[in-house]
Structure 1
Amino acid sequence: MVLVRNRVVVDGDACPVKSEIARTVQSLDATALMVSSHAHRLVAEDRVSVVTVDASNQSADLYIANVLTRQDVLVTGDYGLAALGLARGAAVLTPRGREIREADIDELLAQRHFSAKQRRGGARTKGPPPFTNEDRDRFQQKLTTLLRGMQENRER
């Protein structure tokens, strides 16, 4: 019998919860794959592997989209990549601990398109609020819940 571990695939360039991911996978017998461009130096550690891709615009997203499986949790704040992850059957979690589901993605992509259209027209749009310790805690709790649920489903 082959042991299959849960895997967390991380859009690592701008991810503020890399250390929380490492601690969580190490405590839950899972693994993490962090993908980043050459501009962001990440270091592999126990249960955490790193893939570095070239610095072109969508290289990390394309790599991630090609390796995702339905046994993975994708961590990203990029709604386009989130849509690809959902299409591949992966669970998707933002660094702030929000799980993105199929029912959410159309509205999120529409909001992203609307904001980009406003910016192209010269308007200034409001960015996200500052990242807080509560965001970190929420993320780690949600990731732990997702991974434990996946482990329980696999054991059935």
Structure 2
Amino acid sequence: MNARRALQIFVDADACPVKDEAVKVAERHGLVVTFVSNGGLRPSRDPMIRNVVVSKGADAADDWIVENAVENDVAITADVPLAARLVPNGVHVLGPTGRPFTPESIGMAVAMRDLRQHLRETGEDRGFNRSFTPRDRSEFLSALDRVVRRALNASASG
């Protein structure tokens, strides 16, 4: 009989603005949170916080997350192509603003990302991102808590 491992939260940590919020929700639910990055992570003595530093390759962090996240884990990323790789595997994926990537929404998210990239390349869009606000942080906290509860329920019944 295969023993299932406990649900985990994976964070695509390079330039992630909600690391502290991810830790707060993970602590509330007693979950391990794994920060995956190309470097620059602050070490933690907390055994529930793991830091994984991958090679400097373009998609090394993404590849590591895809290889290690399993059905009903939670992933936090603003990287739409990474989300598109995780969603079909049953991973609950959330952007740093609290926007979920779901089987129903991932196709449109990929199309919009590709459109924006095309507009930047043609000079139609300068690619400025709006600043991250306290409201974004609050919405992310609420959304992550909801997603973790949903994942825990799905994991318990599966």
Both structures adopt the same fold (TM-score exceeding 0.5): yes
AA at the equivalent of 2:41:
R
Distance 2:154 2:120 in 1: 44
Aligned equivalents of 1:129, 1:45: Cα separation in 2: 34
Unaligned runs of 5+ in 2: none
Q: What is the Cα deviation at residue 51 of structure 1?
A: 0.3
Q: Name 1:118's counterpart in structure 2.
A: 119
What TM-score results when the alignment is normalised by the length of structure 2? 0.88
Q: How far, CA to CA, are the matches of 2:54 and 2:145 in structure 1?
A: 28
State the alpha-carbon separation in 1 of the partners of residues 83 and 122 from structure 2: 26
Judge conservation of contact 1:36–1:53 (CA < 8 Å) in 2.
yes
CA distance in 1, matches of 2:44, 2:19: 11
Correspondence for 1:41: 41
Q: What is the 5 A alignment of 1:131-150?
A: 131-150=132-151
Aligned residue runs from structure 1 range 4-153, under 5 A: 4-38=5-39, 40-46=40-46, 47-153=48-154
Q: What is the Cα-based RMSD across aligned positions, in Å?
A: 1.9
Instruction: Give the CA deviation at 1:4.
Output: 4.0
Give how far 1:141 is off: 1.1
| Structure 1: distance between partners of 2:154 and 2:90 | 15
Question: Residue 30 of structure 2: SS of its match in structure 1?
Answer: coil
Within 1, Cα distance between the matches of 2:105 and 2:41?
32
The answer to whether the 8 Å contact 1:36/1:42 transfers is no
Higher mean C-alpha displacement, 131-140 vs 117-126:
117-126
Identity of aligned residues (%): 27
Aligned AA for 2:85? L
Supply the distance in 1 between the matched residues of 2:155 and 2:110 (Cα, whole angstroms).
31
TM-score (norm 1): 0.89
